[in-house]
Structure 1
Amino acid sequence: RISIPVGGYRAAFEFLAPPKLEDAAVAPSAEMVPASLEPEQQVPAPIVHVSQSPARRNRRVILTLGIVFAILFALIGIRFYSARPHGAVQQFWSPLVTASSPVLLSVGSNAVYRLSESFSDNYVKEHHLEASGMEFFPTLDPHQTVDSAGLHAAPDSFVALGDVAAVAEITRTLTGLNKPQQIRFSNDISFAEVRSNPTVSIGGFNNQMTREFTKKLRFTLTSRNRIDDHLNPGQSWLLNASNDSHDTEDYALITRLLSGNATGPFLSLAGMGQYGTLAATDFVCDDESIKRLARLAPNWQRQNLQVVLRIKVVDYKAVSTEIVAVHTW
């Protein structure tokens, strides 16, 4: 008997005991009768119950197990295939995936200064915050100043939440394509490695690799919050950021370069802010978005390309992404 318990998924196999053999009917002793007389009652044939041999029973169990496992493997295969990127997404990532070496994920680091240990220790003692550790916001007077000795730069330490989410989405996509990857800060990757490895640069102004490899292309991140079009000097896209950092709009620049003299296959996902970076990542990992791009640039598969995106942000989430410019060469 094969059964699956309620709430579980593993099949349970139970071997039932064979039926008991009934006593065979024993014929009564035959009496000698004259040849001329017919017997008054015929002797019934013995009743015999034939049980399956162990070998035959084992063959049936093995066959049943084989069918069950075949169904399970088929379901797992269908689920795995449906989760793998395919179609337009696979074509977009093909230059990076077909390279023999792992993909380098270059993550930008935000510019952060931390209070020095001496300043923090004095503040903790004065305000009796001994149990708070180093993770707290000191309350400063409106006109209080902190000299340079009280601050320390924290390079390669802090990453925007949107960039972290972008790394997770890229990792999911590359894993689905059976492509290994290495995650490192941009300052930890040499130009020689970029020339010999497929590379994904995540982040805009906070990633020096993005700035370096896109500064001579048609679309570039310029100034604090602008994307310039160098082929049309009067064309630019300016982000009007709010004073309270509650952005309602963002722009992003996607750059994909095929193998050349300066780099191996290279992909840059650069938002002006973290919402733009995450929206650009979602764009290149979504089949329908790549199909929209294909309608604007029919021969994009074998070409270098740049895409400018406008992102609408509501409640700290990107709710819509619009293609505003495309360039291929």
Structure 2
Amino acid sequence: MNPEAIREQLESIVQDPAFRSSKRSIQFLRYVVEKTLSGDADQIKERTIGVEVFGRPPSYDTNEDHIVRTAASELRKRLAIYYGEEKHRSELRMSLVPGSYIPQFKLPEPAGAVAETDAGMDGVGGLATITAAELELKEPLVVSAATERSWKNWYTVSTVAVVLLVAVFGYLWFRPQSAQALFWKPVVETPGAVLLAVGDVPNGPPSSTPGETASSLPIIHKTSSTTVPFADAVTTARVLGVLQLQGKRVMIRREEASSFTDLREGPVVLIGAFNNEWSLRLTQQLRYSLALDAEKHLIYIKDAKNPSLRTWSWATDKSTDDQGAAGGPVLMDYALISRIWNSETGHVVIVVGGLYTYGTETAGEFLSDPQLMQTIAKQIPKNSHTNLQIVLGTTVTDAVAGPPKVLAVSAE
């Protein structure tokens, strides 16, 4: 078939009103047609389309991200609408091969083909003719049997189709969502971009406010550096990967450059604990919060129901050299993950931070690993307005954080 004729038909299709409103269908159709015409039809695969057409990363999970299958279904519908119009029925036809994304091209049947077929029934070409008397006797019997078979077939197919539809919708409705999907659902389902605010590099441990009270916030000391801590950068990359797999657009900023107005624009993810003032402020009224014990030189995760406990703490007056060295005392770091519905901003806020760098890294690992998150599946509230907090612990060996361990979960 002439490639130029195919390209001309392609242009006619994408200029039609059935396609002009869908940039995704146009990109999809152009891509698969040109790949086929260039002899590369064997390269038209779901992952390849996802990467080259829709900008997904090469390692994206096709089981979680259905962008290509959804776009293919939409394209098939638009092609059906296009060729369903009388004015297009005599044009070169394009369709996707069932079960794949390879386009198929077919020339329209000549206008007289049907007429010639019908003409052959009058005896021309050796077919026997039927007299009026014979027709009067035979026609009712033949039509009745055919009609009966047709109705039986239609009824059987319709019944099977209904049963299948009920089964599919029942499965989609009742199947349990993964813990990771439930956790990120309020963020993913909110329209617009996600703000990811990363804490600044701290200049030493936090200090207490003069005349400190139980509700006082620790004072954060920051350097003038425009960089971010390595652990925060790693966690940022992990969170970014999770959100991009869900098709979310993400804006990354330093915490210092993020205002309350920014927090009102949409969902927010805060990376960092004692180097991120928003993290300190927004967790203050929750069951678990970030706190400082100046007398004991500890930063810790405070439990409002057991305020005197300092179990989840990190000493700020000890050297960080050779921390967690093999053969030495066991070193633990802790992290607090909070999913907060902020009534002031009207959006969900996720806070991810460790007492020290190891805790932040282990929190990022936990949030980006579906299997790890599945351990709290039953404790994640389906109501996005319910605050959820997760306390994690990790053992540090040779300055490397071990796997995260869930220590406490609160949904209030």
Identity fraction in percent: 28
CA contact 1:239–1:250 (8 Å) conserved in 2: yes
1:166 matched residue in structure 2: 235
Deviation at 1:82, TM superposition (A): 3.8
Higher mean C-alpha displacement, 246-255 vs 203-212: 246-255
1:181 matched residue in structure 2: 250
Deviation at 1:99, TM superposition (A): 1.5
Following the alignment from structure 1 to structure 2, what is the Cα–Cα distance between the partners of residues 206 and 106? 11
1:227 and 2:304 are equivalent in the alignment: no
Deviation at 1:105, TM superposition (A): 0.9
Following the alignment from structure 1 to structure 2, what is the Cα–Cα distance between the partners of residues 300 and 315? 39
1:322 and 2:405 are equivalent in the alignment: yes
More helix by share: 2
CA contact 1:256–1:306 (8 Å) conserved in 2: yes
2:9 matched residue in structure 1: none
CA contact 2:391–2:408 (8 Å) conserved in 1: yes
Following the alignment from structure 2 to structure 1, what is the Cα–Cα distance between the partners of residues 229 and 387? 28
CA contact 1:112–1:158 (8 Å) conserved in 2: no
3-state SS of paired residue (1:299): coil
Larger relative contact order (Cα-Cα within 8 Å, sequence gap ≥ 6): 1
CA contact 2:200–2:276 (8 Å) conserved in 1: yes
1:310 and 2:393 are equivalent in the alignment: yes
2:201 matched residue in structure 1: 110
RMSD, aligned CA: 2.9
3-state SS of paired residue (1:155): coil
Following the alignment from structure 2 to structure 1, what is the Cα–Cα distance between the partners of residues 365 and 383? 18
* 1:1-329 to 2 correspondences below 5 Å: 65=39, 68-70=42-44, 72-73=45-46, 80-82=60-62, 84=64, 87-112=178-203, 154-223=223-292, 224-241=298-315, 243-245=319-321, 246-247=323-324, 248-258=331-341, 260-295=343-378, 297=379, 299=381, 302=384, 303-329=386-412
Any stretches of 5+ residues in structure 2 without a counterpart? Answer: 1-35, 51-57, 66-176, 205-221, 293-297, 325-330
CA contact 2:182–2:380 (8 Å) conserved in 1: no
Following the alignment from structure 2 to structure 1, what is the Cα–Cα distance between the partners of residues 265 and 357? 28
Deviation at 1:216, TM superposition (A): 1.1
3-state SS of paired residue (1:216): coil
Any stretches of 5+ residues in structure 1 without a counterpart? Answer: 1-61, 114-152
Deviation at 1:181, TM superposition (A): 0.8
3-state SS of paired residue (2:347): coil
2:129 matched residue in structure 1: none
Following the alignment from structure 1 to structure 2, what is the Cα–Cα distance between the partners of residues 185 and 240? 25
Identify if the C-alpha distance between structure 1 residues 102 and 233 changes in structure 2 by more than 3 Å, giving closer, same or farther: same
3-state SS of paired residue (1:170): helix
CA contact 1:91–1:301 (8 Å) conserved in 2: no
CA contact 1:163–1:277 (8 Å) conserved in 2: yes
Deviation at 1:232, TM superposition (A): 2.4
CA contact 2:314–2:355 (8 Å) conserved in 1: no
Deviation at 1:76, TM superposition (A): 5.8
CA contact 2:194–2:266 (8 Å) conserved in 1: yes
Once the two structures are superposed, residues 142-164 of structure 1 have per-residue CA deviations (whole angstroms, 9 ceiling, x without a partner) of xxxxxxxxxxx733524211111
CA contact 2:178–2:377 (8 Å) conserved in 1: no
CA contact 2:199–2:254 (8 Å) conserved in 1: yes
1:125 matched residue in structure 2: none
Give the letter aligned to residue 163 of structure 1. D
> TM-score by structure 1 length?
0.61
Following the alignment from structure 1 to structure 2, what is the Cα–Cα distance between the partners of residues 183 and 67? 38
Q: How many residues align?
A: 228
Identify if the C-alpha distance between structure 1 residues 298 and 201 changes in structure 2 by more than 3 Å, giving closer, same or farther: closer
Deviation at 1:261, TM superposition (A): 2.7
> TM-score by structure 2 length?
0.50
Following the alignment from structure 2 to structure 1, what is the Cα–Cα distance between the partners of residues 261 and 225? 20
